[in-house]
Amino acid sequence: MKPLLLDHVALWVADRGRMVEVAVTRLGLRAIEETDRFTLLGADARRGKLTLFDAEGLRERGALARIGLRVQSLGGREPVVDLGEGLELVLVEADTDVEADLDHVALYTADPAAAAAGWRSLGFAQEQDGRLAVGGAHLELVPGDPGDPERPLLNHLGVLVESVDEHRAEAEELGVEVADLVDAPNTVALFVWGPDRVKLEYIEHKPSFSLT
């Protein structure tokens, strides 16, 4: 398994409209796609994005500690932006060819060593500083309680791959628990369960992929 990049982070939110407004006005993101179920936020449709799904009532923070967005410069913005409902976005100043790209996701875990081994088996690469890399972004494992996996704020992490079929075959060979396979107009996606019941999506862009 070899994901190409961290494509998106999907979240369950109770007040999607207000959170979209904060993300647009304070972070400079835009609504790439909006439906009656979700809003896709980002600076580029082919790079790191946030997906906000409607949830009935507030969710628990769960395994999600924070999300980091990479920006060329803060430009007068606060380094930490609270979107509400327990969701904090940290702005990380670094060279980037796409403004507001995903820089990292930090997850709480009761057993960082075991969780790291699990994420490595799913295609994340171990780095010397202890983080796990995926296409220039990072997964950070923070000692702590990942909470109840039944009503999490985090819906799933999405990583871009060249072939979902290849990842499905490898997941089955490794005994990874598959949650779902979704064939959509622009993409095909395989959902599997990762450490601490964090859902991971392997997403493949079809030739018809046309979001802008």
If you average pLDDT over every residue of the chain, what do you get? 91
CA triplet 96, 99, 105: central angle to 5 degrees? Answer: 80
Average pLDDT, integer, range 62-73: 94
pLDDT tens for residues 44-61? 888 889 999 999 889 988
Least confident range of 42-46, 117-121, 175-179, 200-204? 42-46
Q: Is 138 a residue whose pLDDT tops 70?
A: yes
| Confidence at residue 98, expressed as pLDDT on a 0 to 100 scale | 85
Least confident range of 43-57, 116-130, 155-169, 197-211? 197-211
| Confidence at residue 142, expressed as pLDDT on a 0 to 100 scale | 95
Q: Is 19 a residue whose pLDDT tops 90?
A: yes
Most confident option among 70-74, 81-85, 150-154, 192-196: 192-196
Higher per-residue confidence, 132 vs 28:
132
Spatial contact of 68 and 161, defined as CB atoms under 8 Å apart: no
Question: Could you tell me the CA-to-CA distances from 95 to 44, 68, 84, 173, 206 in Å, in that order?
Answer: 16, 14, 28, 38, 29
Q: Is 210 a residue whose pLDDT tops 80?
A: no
pLDDT tens for residues 68-114? 999 999 888 889 999 999 898 999 999 888 888 999 999 999 999 99
The pTM is what? Answer: 0.93
| Confidence at residue 211, expressed as pLDDT on a 0 to 100 scale | 65
Question: Could you tell me the CA-to-CA distances from 201 to 24, 51, 67, 156, 178 in Å, in that order?
Answer: 25, 13, 17, 7, 10
CA triplet 129, 42, 37: central angle to 5 degrees? Answer: 115
